[in-house]
Structure 1
Amino acid sequence: MQKSECHGVVQLRNRKAGSCDQRTSSSMQIKHRTTVQQSNSSSSTSSPETARKVHPRPSDKLNPKTINPVASDKRHMVIMMKNGNDTCNSSFLQAFQNKFGEQSRAPSAFAAIYSKGGIPCRLVHGSVKHRLQWECPPENLPFDPLLITLAEGLRETKHPYTFVSKEGFRELLLVQGALEKAVPLLPRLIPVLKAALVHMDDEVFARGLNALVQLSIVVGPSLNDHLKHLLTSLSKRLRDKKFKEPITSALQKLEQHGGNGSLIIIKSKIPTYCSICC
């Protein structure tokens, strides 16, 4: 009897201890949840500056001048202008213009040579049309490098360089003995003419095409070995209706002065070309 009562007391104590442990565990879970909520609440109410310090953005590391250097330099210029130092203001304004391209572009190679007197002729403005005045008779001038320099000027788009290069190239090829002087220059002259023929400007292309015909008249079949390097650009321009007639006329003159050898080369690059002999 006493043993059964003792056993019952032990079971009762165990039940009380289990319920106490459950209450303790529940209380600890509630406290943990409260702590987490308070932590989240404090982090959400923290200032944005604190958040940025914890998780810095890549842009925070940038130098402010690298973000908008133009605006920074403009502010600097305004500050210097307020100081009233004319010399300082002038020098800074000059540097500012140089930096941001407000000055005119540097002259091209042909323009620079022409300005320095490297081209022995000058443009003479006439009431009806312009002409060139040579410093000495063109037949006395060496073609190397004058003819190549004039060919490079065919890519110019500003006056007077456009007229000087076009007319100078034409007049130089008209002098006596031009054949002997021009043929040795063909390996260097053809790439320059090709640059004009592939130019996007229509007027530059037209000047290059005329120069090619003029060269063909002078050197004749000697041009055939270099002709294939020029026909690809002519073939592409044939798709443009406004150039179909002048290119066809130029090809006929190339055939006329280049002979049968030129016809074979032209047909290989431009199969639709119709020979003048047909």
Structure 2
Amino acid sequence: MSATTKSRKKPQLTVSGKPQLTAAGFSTKSHMKNATVLPPPTAGAFDERPLDSKGTDFRYFYERGDFPIALEHDTKGNKIAWKVEIEKLDYHHYLPMFFDGLCETTHPYQFFAERGVHDMLEHGGSKILPVIPQLIIPIKKALNMRNHKVICTTLKVLQHLVVSGEMVGEALVPYYRQILPILNIFKNNNLNSGDGIDYGQQRRENMGDLIQEVLEAFEQYGGDDAFINIKYMVPTYESCLLN
């Protein structure tokens, strides 16, 4: 007997002794008596999408030295040392680039992008509102990665963005169609730890809770049309104002 014959696997048999046949659902073979219909493939809605191997534009500009920032250590941990006053920065140029860095998951890019965004939102004031259209694509890109840490970071940024300046919440309403679909997918993504301690909740990394907080902030600061637009994209959302 040759090695090829020995390595050849015998087909699995059914109870009747006939070879077992696997077939895709609704195919011609699936109607055969000895056919086992395969389950449908998973949609992959929750599967993480990898970041492009080239990284983000934020990483490129950071490595090129385009940002007026440096890493500073103090007793409370790491923070950004800005080489210029934040209020004097060109927000149309820098803020979208820092938002682009929200997709990063490695140090120091992730730290500088997240901390830089919060620093600029804290000191931006009236400079933030005109830049809103430029922020939507980076926000959507970060959420679409479906990475737990990236989504949680972006949700915290959205909460800060809504309250960062006058009319910012209302300016976001036309962009709910780009932002909210991913939130609708992960809205019920809550960890049930039973009697255990959910340390993620202490660190504000429970995605379902963060999404609920963001939706409520959108409704509170989005004006009269906010709720109906949220409800259209997230049907299970219940108003925190009307109730």
After TM superposition, the score normalised by the length of structure 2 is 0.66
Matched, 1:264 2:213: no
Hey, what does 1:52 align to over in structure 2? none
Matched, 1:227 2:176: yes
CA RMSD between the two structures: 1.7
- Structure 1 residue 222 displacement after superposition: 1.3
Structure 2 residue corresponding to 1:198, chosen from 144, 168, 174: 144
In structure 1, how many angstroms separate the alpha carbons of the residues matched to 2:99 and 2:141? 10
In structure 2, how many angstroms separate the alpha carbons of the residues matched to 1:225 and 1:183? 14
Matched, 1:246 2:210: yes
In structure 2, how many angstroms separate the alpha carbons of the residues matched to 1:112 and 1:270? 35
Give the secondary structure class of the aligned counterpart of 2:80. Answer: strand
- Structure 1 residue 161 displacement after superposition: 1.0
In structure 1, how many angstroms separate the alpha carbons of the residues matched to 2:235 and 2:86? 40
Matched, 1:255 2:219: yes
Count of residues in Structure 1 that have an aligned counterpart in Structure 2: 172
Hey, what does 2:120 align to over in structure 1? 172
In structure 2, how many angstroms separate the alpha carbons of the residues matched to 1:160 and 1:125? 13
In structure 2, how many angstroms separate the alpha carbons of the residues matched to 1:155 and 1:165? 9
Give the secondary structure class of the aligned counterpart of 2:66. Answer: coil
Unaligned ranges ≥5, structure 2: 1-52, 192-206
In structure 2, how many angstroms separate the alpha carbons of the residues matched to 1:233 and 1:107? 22
> Could you list the per-position Cα deviations for residues 36-68 of structure 1 after superposition, in whole angstroms to 9, with x for gaps in the alignment?
xxxxxxxxxxxxxxxxxxxxxxxxxxxxxxxxx
Give the secondary structure class of the aligned counterpart of 2:160. Answer: helix
Give the secondary structure class of the aligned counterpart of 1:118. Answer: coil
- 2:188 alignment partner AA: R
Give the secondary structure class of the aligned counterpart of 2:123. Answer: coil
In structure 1, how many angstroms separate the alpha carbons of the residues matched to 2:209 and 2:56? 32
Hey, what does 2:156 align to over in structure 1? 210
**Counterpart contact for 2:96–2:134, Cα < 8 Å:** yes
Q: Which has the higher strand share?
A: 2
Q: After superposition, where does 1:1-278 map in structure 2 within 5 Å? A: 108-176=56-124, 178-179=125-126, 181-218=127-164, 219-242=168-191, 243-277=207-241, 278=243
- Structure 1 residue 159 displacement after superposition: 0.7
- 1:160 alignment partner AA: P
The structure whose RCO (Cα within 8 Å, separation 6+) is larger is 2
- Structure 1 residue 107 displacement after superposition: 5.7
In structure 2, how many angstroms separate the alpha carbons of the residues matched to 1:237 and 1:173? 26
In structure 1, how many angstroms separate the alpha carbons of the residues matched to 2:210 and 2:56? 29
- Structure 1 residue 106 displacement after superposition: 5.5
- Structure 1 residue 172 displacement after superposition: 0.5
In structure 1, how many angstroms separate the alpha carbons of the residues matched to 2:114 and 2:60? 17
In structure 2, how many angstroms separate the alpha carbons of the residues matched to 1:262 and 1:276? 12
In structure 2, how many angstroms separate the alpha carbons of the residues matched to 1:107 and 1:200? 16
Give the secondary structure class of the aligned counterpart of 1:123. Answer: strand
> Could you list the per-position Cα deviations for residues 14-41 of structure 1 after superposition, in whole angstroms to 9, with x for gaps in the alignment?
xxxxxxxxxxxxxxxxxxxxxxxxxxxx
Give the secondary structure class of the aligned counterpart of 1:130. Answer: strand
In structure 1, how many angstroms separate the alpha carbons of the residues matched to 2:57 and 2:140? 17
- 1:250 alignment partner AA: V
In structure 1, how many angstroms separate the alpha carbons of the residues matched to 2:56 and 2:212? 32
In structure 2, how many angstroms separate the alpha carbons of the residues matched to 1:201 and 1:127? 31
Counterparts in 2 of 1:174 and 1:190: CA distance versus 1, 3 Å: same
> Could you list the per-position Cα deviations for residues 220-269 of structure 1 after superposition, in whole angstroms to 9, with x for gaps in the alignment?
21111112211111001113224221110111111111122111111111
Give the secondary structure class of the aligned counterpart of 1:250. Answer: helix
**Counterpart contact for 2:156–2:210, Cα < 8 Å:** no
Give the secondary structure class of the aligned counterpart of 1:125. Answer: strand
